[in-house]
Amino acid sequence: MSYDRNFNNTLAIWTAFGGRGSIVLPIPTLSWTKKYYNNFGYTQYGSERQINVYDNGNAQIAVYYAKTPYMSYWNKTTKQWTVVSVPWWSHGQPEILYAADGVFIAKIVGLANVIASFDGITWHNAGYCPGAQNAMTCGAYDMDRGSGVVSWWYYKSPVYYSFDSLTERTAWTLVGSDGTSVPIFKYLTRHKGYFVGVVGGDKSIARASTSSPGSWGTTIPEDVNDTRYMFIRSINGVLFVMKFNYTNVGGDYTYYVKLCVMSDDATQITETNLSWVGDLANNNIPNPRNIMWMPDWGKFALLKESSLCVSSDGVTWECLHQPGFTTSQYDTFDGAMYIPGDGFYAKASGYVYYAPY
Protein backbone atom coordinates (compact mmCIF):
# COMPACT_ATOMS: atom_id res chain seq x y z
CA MET A 1 0.00 0.00 0.00
CA SER A 2 1.10 3.61 -0.44
CA TYR A 3 2.73 5.38 2.49
CA ASP A 4 0.66 7.78 4.57
CA ARG A 5 2.45 9.93 7.17
CA ASN A 6 -0.58 9.50 9.45
CA PHE A 7 0.42 5.83 9.67
CA ASN A 8 3.50 6.95 11.60
CA ASN A 9 1.84 7.17 15.00
CA THR A 10 2.30 5.23 18.21
CA LEU A 11 -0.70 2.91 17.81
CA ALA A 12 0.05 2.13 14.17
CA ILE A 13 3.70 1.34 14.85
CA TRP A 14 2.81 -0.78 17.87
CA THR A 15 0.24 -2.70 15.80
CA ALA A 16 2.65 -3.12 12.90
CA PHE A 17 5.11 -4.82 15.22
CA GLY A 18 2.52 -7.29 16.38
CA GLY A 19 1.12 -5.39 19.35
CA ARG A 20 3.60 -7.01 21.70
CA GLY A 21 6.36 -5.73 23.96
CA SER A 22 6.98 -2.06 24.61
CA ILE A 23 5.59 0.51 22.23
CA VAL A 24 8.09 1.44 19.53
CA LEU A 25 8.66 5.17 19.80
CA PRO A 26 7.46 7.25 16.84
CA ILE A 27 10.82 8.54 15.67
CA PRO A 28 10.78 9.45 11.97
CA THR A 29 13.82 9.80 9.74
CA LEU A 30 13.52 13.35 8.42
CA SER A 31 14.87 15.21 5.41
CA TRP A 32 16.89 18.22 6.61
CA THR A 33 17.57 21.40 4.64
CA LYS A 34 18.90 24.85 5.53
CA LYS A 35 16.78 28.00 5.65
CA TYR A 36 18.28 31.49 5.72
CA TYR A 37 16.97 34.94 6.70
CA ASN A 38 15.51 35.45 3.21
CA ASN A 39 13.45 32.24 3.55
CA PHE A 40 11.63 33.95 6.42
CA GLY A 41 10.92 37.10 4.41
CA TYR A 42 13.81 39.29 5.54
CA THR A 43 16.14 41.38 3.39
CA GLN A 44 19.79 41.32 4.41
CA TYR A 45 20.87 44.22 6.63
CA GLY A 46 24.60 44.90 6.43
CA SER A 47 26.56 41.69 6.88
CA GLU A 48 24.20 40.20 9.47
CA ARG A 49 22.93 36.68 8.74
CA GLN A 50 21.87 35.31 12.14
CA ILE A 51 18.31 33.99 12.33
CA ASN A 52 16.74 32.47 15.48
CA VAL A 53 13.43 30.66 16.00
CA TYR A 54 11.12 30.78 19.04
CA ASP A 55 7.80 29.19 20.01
CA ASN A 56 5.69 30.48 22.93
CA GLY A 57 3.24 27.61 22.68
CA ASN A 58 0.68 29.58 20.69
CA ALA A 59 2.81 31.48 18.16
CA GLN A 60 6.11 30.99 16.36
CA ILE A 61 8.57 33.67 15.22
CA ALA A 62 11.83 33.82 13.28
CA VAL A 63 13.98 36.66 14.59
CA TYR A 64 16.58 38.29 12.35
CA TYR A 65 19.32 39.70 14.56
CA ALA A 66 19.55 43.12 12.93
CA LYS A 67 18.32 46.67 13.43
CA THR A 68 15.41 46.48 11.01
CA PRO A 69 11.73 47.26 11.76
CA TYR A 70 10.27 43.87 10.88
CA MET A 71 9.32 40.57 12.47
CA SER A 72 8.55 37.28 10.76
CA TYR A 73 5.82 35.06 12.22
CA TRP A 74 4.25 31.76 11.16
CA ASN A 75 0.90 32.56 9.59
CA LYS A 76 -1.41 29.69 10.55
CA THR A 77 -3.92 30.62 7.85
CA THR A 78 -1.59 30.82 4.86
CA LYS A 79 0.94 28.31 6.26
CA GLN A 80 3.69 30.75 5.34
CA TRP A 81 6.30 32.82 7.13
CA THR A 82 5.03 36.39 7.00
CA VAL A 83 6.92 39.62 7.70
CA VAL A 84 5.08 42.39 9.58
CA SER A 85 6.16 45.89 10.52
CA VAL A 86 7.40 46.26 14.12
CA PRO A 87 8.84 49.78 14.58
CA TRP A 88 10.41 48.80 17.94
CA TRP A 89 13.17 46.88 16.17
CA SER A 90 14.27 49.96 14.22
CA HIS A 91 15.84 51.12 17.52
CA GLY A 92 18.17 48.13 17.78
CA GLN A 93 18.56 44.38 17.42
CA PRO A 94 15.74 42.31 18.92
CA GLU A 95 16.68 39.63 21.41
CA ILE A 96 14.11 37.22 22.88
CA LEU A 97 14.51 36.69 26.63
CA TYR A 98 11.59 34.32 27.17
CA ALA A 99 9.26 32.33 24.91
CA ALA A 100 6.65 30.15 26.63
CA ASP A 101 3.17 30.21 28.19
CA GLY A 102 1.74 32.17 25.26
CA VAL A 103 4.06 35.17 25.61
CA PHE A 104 7.31 36.50 24.14
CA ILE A 105 9.45 38.76 26.36
CA ALA A 106 12.15 40.64 24.47
CA LYS A 107 14.68 43.43 24.72
CA ILE A 108 16.12 45.92 22.30
CA VAL A 109 19.87 45.44 22.56
CA GLY A 110 21.37 48.34 24.49
CA LEU A 111 18.08 49.71 25.86
CA ALA A 112 16.25 49.26 29.17
CA ASN A 113 12.80 48.60 27.72
CA VAL A 114 10.91 45.34 28.05
CA ILE A 115 9.03 44.48 24.83
CA ALA A 116 6.27 41.85 24.80
CA SER A 117 4.01 40.07 22.36
CA PHE A 118 1.44 37.30 22.52
CA ASP A 119 1.16 36.51 18.81
CA GLY A 120 4.49 37.68 17.36
CA ILE A 121 2.63 40.27 15.26
CA THR A 122 1.74 43.05 17.70
CA TRP A 123 4.51 44.09 20.08
CA HIS A 124 4.04 46.27 23.17
CA ASN A 125 6.39 48.37 25.26
CA ALA A 126 5.71 46.40 28.43
CA GLY A 127 7.73 48.69 30.68
CA TYR A 128 11.18 49.97 31.49
CA CYS A 129 13.79 49.31 34.14
CA PRO A 130 14.87 52.63 35.69
CA GLY A 131 18.58 52.88 36.44
CA ALA A 132 19.38 49.60 34.74
CA GLN A 133 23.02 48.99 33.94
CA ASN A 134 24.55 46.92 31.15
CA ALA A 135 22.44 44.32 29.35
CA MET A 136 19.47 42.14 30.23
CA THR A 137 20.59 38.52 30.31
CA CYS A 138 17.33 36.60 30.73
CA GLY A 139 13.70 36.83 31.80
CA ALA A 140 10.56 34.82 32.59
CA TYR A 141 6.83 35.40 32.92
CA ASP A 142 3.92 33.71 34.72
CA MET A 143 0.74 34.27 32.71
CA ASP A 144 -1.45 32.84 35.50
CA ARG A 145 -0.29 35.47 38.01
CA GLY A 146 0.62 38.21 35.56
CA SER A 147 4.11 38.60 36.98
CA GLY A 148 7.43 38.86 35.20
CA VAL A 149 11.13 39.16 35.96
CA VAL A 150 14.23 40.19 34.04
CA SER A 151 17.83 39.93 35.20
CA TRP A 152 20.67 42.32 34.38
CA TRP A 153 24.37 41.59 34.35
CA TYR A 154 25.39 44.14 36.92
CA TYR A 155 26.14 43.54 40.58
CA LYS A 156 23.83 46.23 41.93
CA SER A 157 20.91 45.70 39.54
CA PRO A 158 20.22 41.97 39.37
CA VAL A 159 16.42 41.63 39.07
CA TYR A 160 13.48 43.79 38.07
CA TYR A 161 9.90 42.54 38.40
CA SER A 162 6.43 43.68 37.43
CA PHE A 163 2.79 42.78 38.04
CA ASP A 164 1.57 45.37 35.54
CA SER A 165 0.03 44.65 32.16
CA LEU A 166 2.44 43.72 29.41
CA THR A 167 0.64 46.18 27.15
CA GLU A 168 1.43 49.21 29.34
CA ARG A 169 4.72 51.06 29.67
CA THR A 170 5.23 51.17 33.43
CA ALA A 171 8.35 51.06 35.59
CA TRP A 172 9.47 47.61 36.72
CA THR A 173 10.59 47.30 40.36
CA LEU A 174 14.25 46.76 41.21
CA VAL A 175 15.17 44.27 43.95
CA GLY A 176 18.62 43.34 45.17
CA SER A 177 20.27 46.73 44.73
CA ASP A 178 22.48 45.90 47.74
CA GLY A 179 24.26 43.42 45.45
CA THR A 180 23.88 40.44 47.79
CA SER A 181 20.24 39.72 48.68
CA VAL A 182 19.16 38.76 45.15
CA PRO A 183 21.36 36.80 42.75
CA ILE A 184 22.27 37.73 39.22
CA PHE A 185 20.87 35.12 36.85
CA LYS A 186 22.33 33.56 33.72
CA TYR A 187 19.14 31.64 32.82
CA LEU A 188 15.54 31.90 34.03
CA THR A 189 12.30 29.98 33.54
CA ARG A 190 8.81 29.77 35.03
CA HIS A 191 7.72 26.46 36.53
CA LYS A 192 4.54 25.68 38.46
CA GLY A 193 4.28 28.88 40.49
CA TYR A 194 8.02 29.53 40.71
CA PHE A 195 10.63 31.52 38.87
CA VAL A 196 13.70 29.26 38.78
CA GLY A 197 17.12 30.29 37.56
CA VAL A 198 20.77 29.39 37.17
CA VAL A 199 22.75 31.95 39.16
CA GLY A 200 25.54 33.85 37.39
CA GLY A 201 28.68 31.75 37.58
CA ASP A 202 26.65 28.63 36.76
CA LYS A 203 27.30 26.94 40.13
CA SER A 204 23.92 27.18 41.91
CA ILE A 205 20.17 27.35 41.36
CA ALA A 206 17.69 29.68 43.06
CA ARG A 207 13.93 30.22 42.97
CA ALA A 208 11.22 32.67 43.96
CA SER A 209 7.46 32.37 44.09
CA THR A 210 5.95 34.11 41.08
CA SER A 211 3.66 35.88 43.56
CA SER A 212 6.72 37.23 45.46
CA PRO A 213 9.45 37.75 42.84
CA GLY A 214 11.45 40.02 45.13
CA SER A 215 12.35 37.21 47.54
CA TRP A 216 14.79 34.57 46.30
CA GLY A 217 16.27 31.50 47.97
CA THR A 218 18.96 29.03 46.91
CA THR A 219 17.58 25.54 46.26
CA ILE A 220 20.77 23.87 44.99
CA PRO A 221 23.95 25.47 46.38
CA GLU A 222 27.49 25.22 45.09
CA ASP A 223 29.05 21.82 45.79
CA VAL A 224 32.56 20.50 46.35
CA ASN A 225 32.62 18.95 42.88
CA ASP A 226 32.43 22.37 41.17
CA THR A 227 29.23 21.31 39.38
CA ARG A 228 27.88 23.77 36.81
CA TYR A 229 24.39 24.29 35.31
CA MET A 230 23.05 25.79 32.07
CA PHE A 231 19.93 26.13 29.91
CA ILE A 232 17.19 25.64 32.52
CA ARG A 233 13.72 25.31 30.94
CA SER A 234 10.22 24.23 31.93
CA ILE A 235 8.58 22.23 29.13
CA ASN A 236 5.09 20.74 29.44
CA GLY A 237 5.32 20.55 33.23
CA VAL A 238 8.85 19.09 33.38
CA LEU A 239 11.81 21.16 34.57
CA PHE A 240 14.99 20.43 32.57
CA VAL A 241 18.54 21.61 33.19
CA MET A 242 21.98 20.78 31.79
CA LYS A 243 24.56 19.79 34.41
CA PHE A 244 28.30 19.46 33.86
CA ASN A 245 31.74 19.13 35.41
CA TYR A 246 35.13 19.39 33.76
CA THR A 247 38.75 18.38 34.13
CA ASN A 248 41.82 20.33 33.03
CA VAL A 249 44.89 18.26 32.23
CA GLY A 250 47.79 20.26 30.84
CA GLY A 251 45.45 22.89 29.47
CA ASP A 252 43.16 20.36 27.79
CA TYR A 253 39.58 20.66 29.07
CA THR A 254 37.22 17.70 29.07
CA TYR A 255 33.56 18.28 29.94
CA TYR A 256 31.22 15.68 31.45
CA VAL A 257 27.67 16.74 30.59
CA LYS A 258 24.30 15.30 31.65
CA LEU A 259 20.75 16.23 30.73
CA CYS A 260 18.79 16.33 34.00
CA VAL A 261 15.21 16.63 35.23
CA MET A 262 14.56 18.67 38.37
CA SER A 263 11.83 18.26 40.98
CA ASP A 264 8.95 20.73 40.80
CA ASP A 265 10.33 22.68 43.77
CA ALA A 266 13.79 22.81 42.11
CA THR A 267 15.51 21.12 45.06
CA GLN A 268 16.42 17.74 43.55
CA ILE A 269 18.05 16.65 40.29
CA THR A 270 17.62 13.35 38.44
CA GLU A 271 20.10 12.47 35.71
CA THR A 272 18.68 11.19 32.42
CA ASN A 273 20.29 8.59 30.17
CA LEU A 274 21.59 11.29 27.79
CA SER A 275 25.16 12.49 28.36
CA TRP A 276 28.26 13.71 26.58
CA VAL A 277 32.00 13.70 27.27
CA GLY A 278 34.20 16.08 25.30
CA ASP A 279 34.13 19.72 24.21
CA LEU A 280 31.44 21.97 25.68
CA ALA A 281 30.72 23.52 22.27
CA ASN A 282 29.39 20.35 20.70
CA ASN A 283 26.02 19.35 19.26
CA ASN A 284 26.21 15.92 20.85
CA ILE A 285 25.30 17.69 24.09
CA PRO A 286 21.61 17.19 25.02
CA ASN A 287 20.73 20.87 25.33
CA PRO A 288 17.33 21.67 26.95
CA ARG A 289 16.90 24.54 24.49
CA ASN A 290 16.45 21.88 21.81
CA ILE A 291 13.65 20.00 23.62
CA MET A 292 10.07 20.22 22.34
CA TRP A 293 6.77 18.80 23.51
CA MET A 294 5.00 16.87 20.75
CA PRO A 295 1.23 16.86 21.48
CA ASP A 296 0.47 14.37 18.68
CA TRP A 297 2.95 11.90 20.12
CA GLY A 298 2.34 12.68 23.77
CA LYS A 299 6.12 12.73 24.17
CA PHE A 300 9.13 15.01 24.37
CA ALA A 301 11.44 15.35 21.37
CA LEU A 302 15.08 16.46 21.48
CA LEU A 303 17.34 17.40 18.57
CA LYS A 304 21.07 16.87 18.84
CA GLU A 305 23.94 16.01 16.51
CA SER A 306 22.56 13.75 13.75
CA SER A 307 19.81 12.56 16.10
CA LEU A 308 16.15 12.95 16.99
CA CYS A 309 15.46 11.61 20.49
CA VAL A 310 12.08 10.88 22.08
CA SER A 311 10.97 10.41 25.71
CA SER A 312 7.71 9.87 27.55
CA ASP A 313 8.88 11.24 30.90
CA GLY A 314 11.94 13.34 30.05
CA VAL A 315 14.21 10.92 31.90
CA THR A 316 14.57 7.91 29.56
CA TRP A 317 15.25 8.72 25.91
CA GLU A 318 15.52 6.76 22.65
CA CYS A 319 17.28 8.25 19.63
CA LEU A 320 17.29 7.70 15.88
CA HIS A 321 20.03 8.79 13.48
CA GLN A 322 19.16 11.77 11.26
CA PRO A 323 21.31 11.87 8.09
CA GLY A 324 22.36 15.38 7.09
CA PHE A 325 21.49 16.99 10.42
CA THR A 326 24.96 18.17 11.41
CA THR A 327 27.12 21.29 11.52
CA SER A 328 30.80 22.17 11.63
CA GLN A 329 32.73 22.17 14.90
CA TYR A 330 31.72 24.89 17.41
CA ASP A 331 28.54 25.71 15.45
CA THR A 332 26.00 24.53 17.98
CA PHE A 333 22.24 24.07 17.76
CA ASP A 334 20.71 26.57 20.15
CA GLY A 335 16.92 26.53 19.99
CA ALA A 336 14.41 24.21 18.33
CA MET A 337 10.67 24.11 17.70
CA TYR A 338 8.02 22.05 15.94
CA ILE A 339 5.11 23.62 14.05
CA PRO A 340 2.23 21.14 13.60
CA GLY A 341 1.47 20.59 9.95
CA ASP A 342 4.78 22.15 8.92
CA GLY A 343 7.88 20.65 10.50
CA PHE A 344 10.92 20.92 12.74
CA TYR A 345 13.24 23.92 13.04
CA ALA A 346 16.65 24.13 14.74
CA LYS A 347 18.80 27.24 15.00
CA ALA A 348 22.41 27.09 13.87
CA SER A 349 24.86 29.92 13.02
CA GLY A 350 23.53 32.04 10.18
CA TYR A 351 20.80 29.59 9.20
CA VAL A 352 18.07 27.34 10.55
CA TYR A 353 17.79 23.62 9.87
CA TYR A 354 14.32 22.62 8.68
CA ALA A 355 12.66 19.25 8.17
CA PRO A 356 9.04 18.92 7.00
CA TYR A 357 6.85 16.56 9.00
Convert the pLDDT of each residue in 88-109 to its tens digit: 999 999 999 999 999 999 999 9
Say what the pTM is.
0.91
Span 266-295, average pLDDT: 96
DSSP per residue, 227-291: -EEEEEEEETTEEEEEEEEEEEETTEEEEEEEEEEE-TTS--EEEEEEEEEE-SS-TTS--GGGE
Distance between CA 334 and CA 332 in Å, rounded?
A: 6
Question: Is the pLDDT score of 344 beyond 70?
Answer: yes
N- to C-terminal Cα distance for the chain? 20
pLDDT at position 88? 93
The string of DSSP codes covering 95-144 is EEEEEETTEEEEEETTS-EEEEESSSSSEEEEEE-TT--S-EEEEEEETT
How does DSSP classify residue 10?
H
pLDDT at residue 11 is higher than 50: no
pLDDT above 80: residue 24: no
Residues found in the chain: 357
Q: Which of 176-185, 307-316, 339-348 has the lowest mean pLDDT?
A: 176-185
Please check the confidence at residue 247 and state whether its pLDDT lies above 90: yes
- The pLDDT of residue 89 is 94
Check residue 25 and give its pLDDT.
Answer: 59
Confidence of residue 26 (pLDDT cuts 50, 70, 90): low
CATH tag, 35-298+334-356: 2.120.10
What is the band of 137 on the pLDDT scale with cuts at 50, 70, 90?
A: very high
Is residue 180 pLDDT above 90, yes or no? no
Going edge to edge, which strands form the sheet with 113-117?
Answer: 94-100, 103-108, 113-117, 123-128
Contacts of 162 (CB under 8 A, 6+ apart): 114, 126, 127, 147, 148, 170, 172, 173
Q: How confident is the model at residue 6 (pLDDT cuts 50, 70, 90)?
A: very low
Position 80 confidence tier, pLDDT thresholds 50, 70, 90? very high
pLDDT at residue 7, as a whole number: 33
Range in 13-17, 68-72, 258-262, 341-345 with the lowest mean pLDDT: 13-17
- pLDDT for position 156: 77
pLDDT at 295 over 90: yes
Q: Radius of gyration (Cα) for the chain, nearest Å?
A: 21
Q: What is the pLDDT of residues 184-200, one digit of tens each?
A: 999 999 999 999 999 99
The answer to whether 159 touches 210, Cβ cutoff 8 Å, is: no
Strand partners, 235: 238
User: Cβ(150)–Cβ(141) under 8 Å?
Assistant: no
Model confidence pLDDT, tens digit, residues 319-340: 999 999 998 888 899 999 999 9
What is the percent of the chain with per-residue pLDDT over 70, rounded to a whole number? 92
pLDDT of residue 306: 96
